[in-house]
Structure 1
Amino acid sequence: MNKEKYHIYIAGTVKLGVGYGIVSLLARWVTGNTILSSPESLMKYGLSGVIVYSLMGAFALIFFGFLAQKICAKYRDHQTIGDVLQSKLSPTGFWIMMALLFITSLYSIFIQALGAGILLHLLFPFPISIGLLIFLFICFLFSGVGGMQWLHRLSGVTITLVFGAVIVIPVYFFIQEGVYPVYDGVKLYHPYLLYFKNYDAIWFFLAAIIIGIGQALFDCATWQRLFIIQKEKIRITFTLTGFLWATIPLSISTLIFIAIFGRGFKNIYTILLELVNKIQSNLLIVLFILFCFCVILSALSSGLHSVTVLMVRNMIGYFHEQTENEKWKWTYVFSGSICLILLIVVSILPPKPIELLFFFGNIYASVIIPMLYIILSKKILPAIIPFAALVGTIAGLLFMPSAGSFQTIWISFFVPLCICLIHFISTLLFHKKKPSS
């Protein structure tokens, strides 16, 4: 890559149309969380939980698509979410939002690395550290060295494997075994999975929608792709991406039914190993393993690339203007350091499951109203708006011991809403009184 053109590393060389825009967005949003949270929602809430989980991502992408055209019209010369925050916030407010953004971005990367570690532990006999070293080195090549151009190439391969796995494997298995034996086996051993009248799923739906919207509004990689999609095709691209994404958790749930029909299971992570044992075709086993690792590789590389750009362009670049060589130096150092830390942490941690559905959901819920305020406002905003997101996050965490996951999500959402509403009303009243004084 030409070292004199760091902006190519950030955004690539071409504007994306609808087709490749969908591929790029899907490669970002089909992650290790999708593979692992789909069975988690299925086991907790049955079929209604999987449907809710599918609607969460679809609604979030479609909602963000309606804002996307306005964002591109107002911030046409920007390349990252950090650029927008820097142009609309005071220094204090900017750093509050950047801190929250940095935390959630690192969390997302860590979850992908942890998912890779769990898969390596389940599928291969060698130590996790060896496989993880190779995996993270490949991530470093794509994100730290290759940039957006290499990520586009990886996206095409990833989405091909995704739809190949979720379509070919179920069709092959149902041809071999039949649909009714799978249904009867699930009904006999796991009848609760087929139960639709689960009222907890309603609360799950409401909380999941909040988390999904917050994640879309606060995802660095999604914002980077927003700025490289052709302006007139942004809304249709996000809308179609939402509809296509919704089919993937449903398809993964079909794979789960194949793995567990006629038998029990230890936990949601061993289901993946059961599925490999059920698939008798070596070609399909390879397809499934490649599907899992390419999804995590693409998501981790995209996240690592976006957080590296955020660090170099918006955090280090905030204090002084950098030369092209300095930008590349910090890019290699920062992305390599994150990969090294992930290797150490994931290798030390025991490969055990964690709950993913509401982990860090309070931050995503708390940033929705402040981010909407930032996107839609026309003026430089005071620190009270980003501070509202911080207060909402803290309020949700404080109530977590006494309230459930759903309640804390709503607390984290409504606290910033009240603060921003008070600020908006007081601003209107102040401007009305000022001319008469």
Structure 2
Amino acid sequence: MQGLIIGGGIGGLTTAIALQQRGIDVQVYEQAPDIREVGTGLMMATNAMQVLSWLGLAESIRQTGWSLQKGFVTKPDGTPIQTVDIGALSRRYGFGMVAIHRGRLQTLLLNSLPADRIHTGKRLIDLQDNGRRVRVLFADGSTAEGDFCIGADGIRSAVRQQLFGDQPLRYSGQTCWRGLVDYPVPADARTTSYEYWGLPTGLRVGIVPVGADQLYVYVTAASPAGQSAEKSLPALLSLSESFAPSVKAVLEQVEEKRIHRADLYDLPTLPAWSKGRVTVLGDAAHATTPNLGQGACQAIEDAWAVAACLANYQEPDEAFRQFQALRKPKADRIVRLSRQIGQAVNAPGWLKPLLFTAMGSLPKSLTDRQFADVYDVSYLKRFEKTSVSQFPPVPAGSHSPAA
């Protein structure tokens, strides 16, 4: 069996690795002219690290990234509202969380694949599935064929558009600035992340160590969609006035050229992810706001799941139906929960003190269940250990209900 993957980001490359390890040949097509170390930081959370360990990549990622032990959600002055004991998650699941530069993660994944399997400068403009083979056409006039095609081409997926037409995105009401900041992190804070919630609607500042002297910083604020400014620093410094002096001290070290601004969108739940021999995964299937730090992590779960399904089912269309049945309920829950958190951040200032009190009063049993819903990936291994005969075919055209 030979396949095509459209998109050379984290989801596409991880999927290629997972398929390669199962003896399924794939070619990856990326529209960018080259795959470079760009981007800011991201979190490889407990669930992603478990899956990456199954692929033999977890230790390399721990060495490349920066392991965290604790996380705090705080009031504007730094008073803790909620605490995440990452060490406890590590003891429970075998892995904690690793903060890593997105570009370095992408390079690590890229280096795990044969160079002749990666093709850049390939922007998809057409896709045809004749029931036996899938043929794709790129903007440069070249074509490719395979037994199946996987769209891992992001929130504005060309593959999704070919399958299902235009799917409107949903604006969160927030814009976000992200960047890396060179900053001497105190020794006692080098494994601790902070997310400061401000009183103004939509306002947060996240500060995450990605090294002994470097921080990943993100700032969200309420904003109409499509607003932009030539310079980000004046806005960030103005927003920093709402927080503790330590937050302002970090934001004052931000360099304009290292800040990226983007409005935050998600993708409303799709009825289905696949059609025939073509499926989508990651942001192309279930783009989420970043409030749970799960965008890349969910794509990594997808990668393992779709590879397991293709290895266990001879026909790609059946494999993709099983993939959707396995993964869609959890992915849809993540999108909803992340959006709910974003809506809480969007609460008016007068309501925030009450919200902080409620967040700090959540019983541990409830937060443990919420963590398990996000970080437990044992359902993937149960599938792996179950014979094909125990999974009845899913009727064509059906889809798993939203959980």
Fold in common (TM above 0.5): no
Structure with bigger RCO (C-alpha 8 Å, 6+ apart): 1
Report which of the two structures shows the higher radius of gyration computed on alpha carbons.
Answer: 1
Query: What is the TM-score when the length of structure 1 is the normalising length?
Result: 0.31
Query: What is the TM-score when the length of structure 2 is the normalising length?
Result: 0.33
